[in-house]
Structure 1
């Protein structure tokens, strides 16, 4: 049986207990020995498909896929926690992140090795975000991101690796942002080009990458390229109803136009600020105003 099923025993045990059944009761109903059930529940061996079917029937469960996603399962608990953290991120809310990380670390989940690796990558990724957004420690942020990427293989090269999961895409996207911020132009360019070449256009992370690419061009004084990429990101936002980064994209479009001497740059800045009001992002609005005033030497 594939290694992804190795956690099923602990989930069977949890559901059995929730139904008030002893091991002896379940073994009798499923027509297997109590010793076999004990070994399955303690993940000493995976159940054969015929035994698994009997056990699931005895528990009133249709089949194994139901077991994986059943309400209250370890996997669902972890996924719900990750979704909640991500919702906070979308609102630039990092206040509970340290506590959230501790909760993820404390989850007693008997999961397959592959999923444990993914969970560890999420934990390290969130630690990187915490270091960056809360403690403003960019170097520590970078270290956590690299560590997260190498959970699966210590030999991975971040500039050429093709990510195999959503969390790895997010890790590498954040790495590209780090290298843009620290002006390590060569590394940022390699990561961005690699991701954009290997990511589907409609991947939710694609807009983040376009934003990072536009910033890369802005920071290398390639302002027309920054404008072109910003328009591409806005077009993709509209086509996919994915408005992640849209405030910052309008801001970047505006300051890039200013650098090119385009008169209507203020219209894009105004869109960014109005979206801040609409989305109740007061701190972001204040930060953008300070940045624009510094760049243009005008008060808006």
Structure 2
């Protein structure tokens, strides 16, 4: 199930303001973290039932029921396309992504909700970026696509101010892919900086979490920081097992095996050098 989070967030903000509350007031009374309320009001997160239960008596409104008014009816079709896309990416099957691209464009013609149209357009640009990168090695053009996708919903986004903004799950996915391209265009260090930011802003229960863990593990491997590579591969594996989400689990185990081998090899080498002293 997906919702017009932007419109829902705007109504929550309007309710709060009409009651004369600041965000700080509501958070103090409800026990909700201020960043959580900020994300809800900016349409960047699907709030949990527990969160809405805590906010409802403060805002004098059944927010769980209110959220249902913002359901997106065509979302199941969107989710089915996105799941196919994720499976192909996990299997490195980039040659046929044009199928999902065409399906999304067809879905776009049936939709009138502006929020959902933006979401579909972001995924279209993400796919086009992946095709440009993987199929044609046009890295800069691929990066331009991702920045354009981000600016659909966050017009003020730039690579200089990205840490000052609030991101939805889709935007976090786009930012992760930007980090992967920055690794090729600029430096692994800059890519790591962005990727570390991604892991901080993504909920550990989100589907995106193990993908960021995998990419962090690989990035640390490139920098020969194998302890951190092992740490993030383990975090990704823990997520997959806990949520019974086995897509990409083999890749995480591969990264774990590489990190363990290199750590063991480096330790053995160190012991050998010490024995020669």
Q: TM-score range by the shorter chain?
A: 0.5 to 0.7
The structure number with the bigger radius of gyration is: 1
Q: Map residues 224-263 of structure 1 onto 2, 5 A cutoff.
A: 224-262=227-265
> Aligned residue for 2:116?
115
Structure 2: unaligned runs, 5 residues or longer: 9-67, 268-277
**1 or 2 for the larger relative contact order (CA 8 Å, sep ≥6)?**
2
- Would you say 1:85 and 2:85 are equivalent positions? yes
Task: Check whether the contact 1:97–1:126 (CA below 8 A) recurs between aligned residues.
Answer: yes
1:57-68 alignment runs, 5 A limit: 68=72
Q: TM-score, normalised by structure 1?
A: 0.57
CA distance in 2, matches of 1:67, 1:240: 25
Scaled by the length of structure 2, what TM-score is found? Answer: 0.61
Contact map agreement 1:214 1:229 (CA 8 A) in 2: yes
Contact between 1:4 and 1:112, CA under 8 Å: does it hold in 2? no
| 1:25-62 per-position Cα deviation (integer Å, ceiling 9, x unaligned) | xxxxxxxxxxxxxxxxxxxxxxxxxxxxxxxxxxxxxx
Instruction: Provide structure 1 residue ranges, at least 5 long, that are not aligned to the other structure.
Output: 6-63, 265-300
Q: Does 1:129 align with 2:130?
A: yes
Q: Which residue of 1 aligns with 2:98?
A: 98
Q: What number of residue pairs does the alignment pair up?
A: 202
Cα distance per residue 1:267-286 (max 9 Å; x no partner): xxxxxxxxxxxxxxxxxxxx
From 153, 171, 174, the counterpart of 1:171: 174
The CA deviation string for residues 206-241 of structure 1, in whole angstroms up to 9 with x for no partner, is: 111111222222112212221222223222322222
- Tell me the alpha carbon deviations over residues 80-106 of structure 1, each in whole angstroms, 9 at most, x when there is no partner: 433333343344333332243234234
Q: What's the CA shift for 1:263?
A: 9.2
Deviation at 1:148, TM superposition (A): 0.8
2:91 and 2:116 mapped to 1: Cα distance? 27
- Residue 199 of structure 2: aligned partner: 196
Taking structure 1 as reference, are residues 111 and 79 closer, same or farther at Cα in structure 2, changes over 3 Å only? Answer: farther
Aligned counterparts of 2:134 and 2:142: Cα–Cα separation in 1 = 9
